[in-house]
Amino acid sequence: DAKTTQPTSMDCAEGRAANLPCNHSTISGNEYVYWYRQIHSQGPQYIIHGLKNNETNEMASLIITEDRKSSTLILPHATLRDTAVYYCILGGGITGTASKLTFGTGTRLQVTL
């Protein structure tokens, strides 16, 4: 019962922006959109999260559509070290306590020279 859908894989040239889409048409009003990534065999790494406004941090930007049914993670200048599986996950209501993360299959991003 996947709540998000992502492309299986994507390629990106080094130095270019990587735009990773995620569909979450059944998102509820108080659910956040989270992005994590897992670089080969390492523990997952938190990237960014947002509710309805666009967000930016030192790693990436998150663009959420006005209807909140989809979002895009943007890595502005991808490097080879950004090669990883990227997971889009819903969770964490505004007033809720932290809960389990449900990982789907994610998008395997390959950054190439």
Partner 1 sequence: NAGVMQNPRHLVRRRGQEARLRCSPMKGHSHVYWYRQLPEEGLKFMVYLQKENIIDESGMPKERFSAEFPKEGPSILRIQQVVRGDSAAYFCASAPREASTDTQYFGPGTRLTVL
Candidates 6-14, 55-63, 72-80, 84-92 — which segment interacts with partner 1 by CB under 8 A?
A: 84-92
Q: Which of 19, 38, 61, 110 binds partner 1 (CB under 8 A)?
A: 38
Which run of H or of E encompasses 33? strand 32-38
Helix (H) or strand (E) holding 49: strand 45-50
Q: Which of 74, 91, 108, 110: binder of partner 1 (CB under 8 A)?
A: 91
Least Cβ distance, residue 57 to partner 1 (angstroms): 12
- Residues listed for the chain: 113
- Residue numbers at the binding site for partner 1 (CB under 8 A): 32, 34, 38, 41-46, 49, 89, 91-92, 94-106
